[in-house]
Amino acid sequence: MSVYVTKDFKYKEFACPDCGVSRPINPNLIYRLQNLRDMVNIPIYISSGIRCKKYNKHIGGYINSPHLTGKAVDIYAKNMTIKQLAIKAKEAGFTRVGLYPENHFIHIDIIRPWRSASWIRRKGEYIYYKTLELALTKL
């Protein structure tokens, strides 16, 4: 039997894919993720939630990734473009949105934007933008 964190998300969906360990997930992230799910009214899939340091390093994640502290998830939704999903994520209150068009997912987190609120990763390189709106014009 799976334990649900919200009505639509199971706790195991957030677990590290490498070690399977689940660490605490920030309640603000969970609240906003469920809010996003309610807004789009279709399933949202978590491709990366909590990460252990080993796995984060293995996939080339940022050394201080919010995935390490339960403040970020990478998600996708079938029958929705990443642009559509990103717009809804911002409406749901996520503070930073990363766009990965080659892999068809977005990164969303609740970290206060510092230099950028959004980015696009193409061909292994990151381009940073002050706003999601600006990043979306570059897709």
Instruction: Return the CATH number at 74.
Output: 3.30.1380.10
pLDDT per residue over 84-119, tens digit each?
999 999 999 999 999 999 999 999 999 999 889 999
Residue 1 counted as domain residue = no
Question: How large is the average pLDDT for residues 43-69?
Answer: 95
Residue 87 lies in a domain: yes
**Is there a domain that residue 102 lies in?**
yes
| In a domain? residue 22 | yes
Going by C-beta distance under 8 Å and a sequence separation of 6 or more, which residues neighbour residue 121?
Answer: 98, 99, 100, 102, 127
Looking at the structure of the chain, the number of domains it has is 1
**Residue 67 pLDDT more than 70?**
yes
Q: What is the average per-residue pLDDT within 48-77?
A: 95
Q: What is the dihedral of CA 17, 19, 20, 24, to 10 degrees?
A: -100
Banded model confidence at residue 128, pLDDT cuts 50, 70, 90: very high
Domain that holds residue 27: 11-136
Does residue 3 belong to any structural domain of this protein? Answer: no
- Domain membership of residue 66 (yes or no) is yes
Tracing tokens 């079938």 back to the chain, one arrives at 78
- In a domain, residue 82? The reply is yes
Q: Does 5 fall in a domain?
A: no
pLDDT of amino acid 21: 76
